Amino acid sequence: MGNSFIINMEKLQYISQGITRKDQEENIRKVLDNGIKWVQIRWKNAPENELIDLCEISKQLCSEYQSICIINDNVELAKTIDADGVHLGLNDGSIEEARQVLGKHKIIGGTANTIADVIQRVNESCDYIGLGPLRFTSTKEKLSPILGFEGYQEIINQLNEKSVAIPKIFAIGGVGSEDIQPLQQIGIYGVAVSGQITNQPSIISELKALSMF
């Protein structure tokens, strides 16, 4: 995986869902079957051995489908299974340390909720930023303050005012198909979707078509 991928980054991410390892794996298989090209494995409070098993299987599946496999939070696990990268929350360790562990060709994403977070992530040289939530979502514990479309617009405006180049920002948190084009018009690069894709994997082709513009 070279940095050429970063330039042509997929605009639709799937964040995995499921309470058990079996649920997680089944959901990941379904979305890959339906054409998803980017999976972030996110399974909070998982038993460590089961999480490792899930990530190993998922990495193998993603390779077979020529899809990107990102691990949420766990840099060492991403390195162990040779995942395509890692996504770090604001309290999950530094981007710089992750880069040292994983190397310059892996994808490193970071969470943000405010303009200060976004600028921090830009300064840390994240490959992409997961900015949210757009609206309330039950798939995430400890939800940050909700941004809404106005919040995204305000952050883009402030970046422009500060003459900061707009990074690759993915909207996350309660995002649905009807949100993609309004977000792109604001200047948001792509979307990360969990619930809607888990519940209806067949919608992936529609979401991808909407995301291409």
Q: Is 164 helix (H, G, I), strand (E, B) or coil?
A: coil
pLDDT of residue 143: 63
Domain CATH code at residue 124? 3.20.20.70
As for how many domains the chain has, the answer is 1
Rg (CA), the chain: 16
Distance CA 144, CA 73 (A): 17
CA 106 to chain CA centroid, Å, is 14
Tell whether the model's pLDDT for residue 171 goes beyond 90.
yes
Q: Quote the pTM value.
A: 0.93
Q: Would strands 128-131 and 107-112 be described as parallel, antiparallel, or unpaired? A: parallel
Decide the pairing of beta strands 169-172 and 12-15.
unpaired
**3-state class (DSSP) for residue 206:** helix
Question: Residue range 91-111: average pLDDT?
Answer: 94
Read off the tokens for 199: 């519940």
Percentage of the chain with pLDDT > 70? 93
Q: List pLDDT tens digits, range 114-156.
A: 999 999 999 999 999 999 999 987 665 666 789 999 999 999 9
Contact between residue 94 and residue 125 where contact means Cβ atoms under 8 Å apart: no
- Domain membership of residue 15 as a residue range: 4-211
